[in-house]
Structure 1
Amino acid sequence: MSIQIPRGTQDILPGTVEYWQYIEQKAREICRAFNYKEVRTPMFEHTELFQRGVGETTDIVQKEMYTFTDRGDRSLTLRPEGTAGVVRSFVTHKMFGSPNQPTKLYYIGPMFRYERPQAGRFRQFVQFGVEALGSNDPSIDAEVLALAMQFYQSLGLKSLRLVVNSLGDAESRQAHRQALIDHFKPRIGEFCSDCQNRLEKNPLRILDCKKDRDHELMKTAPAITDYLNDYSREYFEKVQQYLTDLNIEFVVDPNLVRGLDYYNHTAFEIMSEAEGFGAITTLCGGGRYNGLVQDLGGPETPGIGFGLSIERLLSALEAEGVELPVDTGVDCYVVSLGDAAKDKVVSIVNDLRQAGFVTEKDYLDKKMKAQFKAADRLEAKYVVVLGEDELEKGVVNVKDMQKGDQNEVAITELVHYLTNL
C-alpha cells in the first residue's frame, strides 16, 4: 500500500516552487528596504509559550494546536503562528539591550494548525511576518502597514482593502469589556458554548465568533471606538493621519477584532476583493501588542507586527490573473555527438555553471534530435553543439533558440561569448 500525504499538507513541486521562491525573495527585498532583519526560530516551542502568548481563550490554543509530549515528559507544540516565538527569542537573547532600537525583525517559515482544510488554508502553511519591538510611535504602526501593502502591490495585486481599528489601551479595553459583558449576558444562552465560556474570560472574542456572526446582538454590540480614552483616540488618529500622508487607502471598522488575545491599540486586516477569491477574504492580519513582551518574561516593551499566508497570497494572485515573472528555463543546453565530445562536454558544462549560467546536458545517451527536444522542453535560451568535427577544430556551434541564429565559437571563448550576449 502506498503512503499518502497527510491531510491538509501539500507537496510543492518544481514548476511551482519557483513562484514561492520569487515571493519569498520579494519579501526579503522589501524587508531590507525597511531595515527589518530576518530571524529564524524553532518550529516547536514549549506549549506554555502559546498558551500565554496567543491566549488560552483563542481557537488556536483551544482547538488547533499540534501538541505532543517528548521523552522528558515536556509538553511541546508545533508553532501555530510566528509572533510568540519571535518575541520569546527577543526576550531570550535580550535584544531589548541593543543600542539600535526599535528591534525590527521578519520571518518566513512553516506554521501548523489543526483546522478543516479548504481553499488557501492548510494544516501546514507558510507564514511571512514582521515584528517591530521597542517603539510607541504611531508612525511605526503606519510603517508596518505600509510594508505589508507594498509587498502585495509589488507582486501585482490591485484588489486590496485595508481595514483598521483601535482596540485601545488597558483602561479603554476594560471599559469596553464591561460594556460587552452587560450587552451579551442577558441572552448569552442563545450563543454557542465557546461564546458562553468567553463571556467572562474575554468577551471581545465573542465578536470574532463565526457560528454566531449573524445573531442580532452582534449587530448592536458596543463598539470599542466608543470607549477609547483620550490617549487611545489620539494615538489612533495619528496612525490614520500617517496612512493618509503615505497615500494608503483604508477604512475604519469598529467591529474588527483580531483572533489573538495579545492585541491592543492598532489592529488591522488586508483583504482581497478579487472576484472569485472565496468567502474568506482576509490575506493578512496584525496589530499592536504592548503587553506581550512582559507576559513572556521581558521588560515593558511595546510591539507591533503582522502575519500573512503565502498560500492565500497565491490564491489571490490566481484570482486576479497575475502572472509572476518567473523564469523556469535554462540558459544553455549542451548537445554532444560522439564519445569524445560527450567526455569533453562534462568540463564545458562545469565551466558554464561556474560562470553563473544555468546549464544542462544529456545523461541518457539520446540522439541529437532527442537532445534538441530536451532543450526545447527546458526552454533553453541557447543550445551549444559539440560534435567530433567541432572537437577537432576546438570550437562549438552556439544556437540562439529565439532568433534561430547560429555561430561558431572557440571552446576557450564560449563563456566570454555567452556573457557578452
Structure 2
Amino acid sequence: MGLFQQFVQLLGFASFLLPVASGSPAGHFLFPRVPEDPSVDPFYQPPEGFESKPLGTILRQRSVVTAYFGELPNPVQAHQLLYRTTATNGSAIAAVTTVFKPLFQKKGPYQLGVVPKEEQAGITTTLEYLIIQIYLANGYVVASPDYEGPDAAFTPGHLEGMVTLDGMRAVVNFRETVGITSKIPMIFGSGYSSGAIASGWGASLQSSYAPELDIKGWAMGGTPANLTGTLLHIDGSPNSGFLPIAINGLMKPSAYQEQLHSLFDRVVTAEGKAALDEAQTQCTTAALNSFKFKSIISTDVQSEGPDILYHPVLAPILSENIMGINVSERPVVPVFVYHATKDQIIPYANAKSLVDNWCNQGVSVKFTTYEAGGHATTDTLGVSDVLKFAESAFSGTLVRGCTKNTKLDESLDPLALGVNLEPLFNALSVALNKLQFKF
C-alpha cells in the first residue's frame, strides 16, 4: 500500500502539546472518522482541465483531523492539499501534501519545514511521525508530501524530486491559512531513507525546476543515492523485500511504465510475477517478509539473471537515478548528509560517493558519519543535528564548503533539543528500541 493510498495519521503526544496551547479550535480534538479509500474518495481525483494549471496549483483542499495511532486526536491544525505536479515523462499528474500548523508558531511567520513521509508501517511510522512532532514542537509549519505521486511510485528520483518541489509551491500558495505571511517564505527540506530520495532529488532539481523557491537548505540521511548499489547491498538479505517494491515503483505510470513494462512482462518468471504481485498489494512490512532472503537477480525470478542490470532498457534508467553524477543536477544551497557505516539497507559507500561528487562540483556539504548503529538508529540519532542545521540555514549562518565529521556514540541525549522536548525524545527511545529488532 503506497502512501498516497493511506490517510495521513500524525502520531504525536497530545498531552505534551495541550498545555502549550490556549484557545485551540475545538474541532481539532474530535476523534477522526475512518477515511474513505482514495480510489473512491473524490478528493484525490483532479478536476477536469487541471493539466493546464501552473505547477503547484492547489486543485482541492480540506481540513483533516490527525491522530496518534489513528485514535488519540493530535491538537494541531492539519490540511490536505491536492496539487498539480509532473510525472517522469513530463505529463501532468496530481499529488497530495499534508500541512501541519503548530500550536505555538514561535519560529515566526516565514519558515516552512518539508519532511517527506516514508512508505513504511507499524513502529517505523511511529518513529517517523514522532520526529515530525518534534519539528512541530519547535514551532515550524511542517509539510509532508506524498512524494511518490498518485500511483505510489517508490524510488524514481526525478519524479519524487518534482513532486516534493511542487508540494512546496502548493504550500506557498496556501501560506496565509497556516500563518505564513511572507510572500516568499524561507523553506528547509529534510528526509530520511526513502524520504531522502525525495529530499536529495528535490535539492538536485531545485535550480532547474523550481528556482523561485527560497529554499535555505536540505538534509538527507540513509540516502539511496544509487539504486543499483542498494539492490546489490540487500539482495538475498533480510531486507531484500524492498526490491520487488522498488521494481513495482519504477514500473508505475508516473515513472517508467512505458519503457519497462514490455521488458519485465517478457523476462519475469511465474515466481517473480507472484513476488511483484504480492509487493503491489501488500503494505511494506508484509512485503518485506514475503521476499526475505530472496534474490531479485536470480533466474528463479527473471530469466536474465544478473545481466538484467545491464539490459539496454533498464541500465539507462538505473543510471539516470544515480544522485550526484550530473553536474547540472547539483544542489545550489547547503546540504546536510548523514549515514551509518553499518547501514544494513543503504550502502555507506554510495552516500560517500554522492558527497564526494557534490563537493567536487562546488556544493556546500556537511557530511556526518555514524560509526555506531545502523539504518534505523541513525534516523533518530540525526534529529538534533538536522534541527541545528535547519536553524543555521534559516539564520544564514551555515559555513560554506565541504566538512566531514564522525560520531561514535549511538545513545540518544534526551536534552539535546531542550528540556521541553525530553518527553518526545524519551518516546523516540522506546520506538527506536523496538525498531532495532526489525533490521
Asked if TM exceeds 0.5, the reply is no
Give the structure with the higher percent strand.
1
Query: Could you tell me the TM-score, scaled by structure 1's length?
Result: 0.30
Q: Which has the larger radius of gyration?
A: 1
Query: Could you tell me the TM-score, scaled by structure 2's length?
Result: 0.29
